[in-house]
Amino acid sequence: MRITCKGELYLCLGQEDRVDLMPLLRAYPNDDTPLIEAILASMRVKPKGHDFDLQRQAPAVIRFMSQTGG
């Protein structure tokens, strides 16, 4: 899992699934509970594996690591 500087929590580096945490940060600036709950809930639906197709010539996800926060 990675979080970007824009508050997007990517559940897997090899997929596009993500959770936008920024609305929670803005709505609850003094309460971390909604943010913690969202992160824990996203961890429950996180893929168990990457499922990369190594025979494929093109990348599964076109996203630079600097964009992902890595």
Query: Does 63 score more than 70 pLDDT?
Result: no
Q: How many CA atoms lie within 13 A of 1 on its CB side?
A: 17
Query: Is 12 part of a structural domain of the chain?
Result: yes
How many domains are contained in the chain? 1
Most confidently modeled range among 5-9, 30-34, 45-49, 52-56: 30-34
What pLDDT does residue 69 have? 63
Query: Is 58 part of a structural domain of the chain?
Result: yes
Of the listed ranges 23-27, 36-40, 43-47, the least confidently predicted one is 43-47
Q: How many CA atoms lie within 13 A of 53 on its CB side?
A: 8
Query: Is 37 part of a structural domain of the chain?
Result: yes
- Does pTM top 0.85 for this prediction? no
Query: Is 70 part of a structural domain of the chain?
Result: no
Domain limits at 18?
2-65
Element (H, E) at 2: strand 2-3
Largest CA distance in the chain: 48
- Sheet of 8-10: strand order equals 2-3, 8-10, 18-20
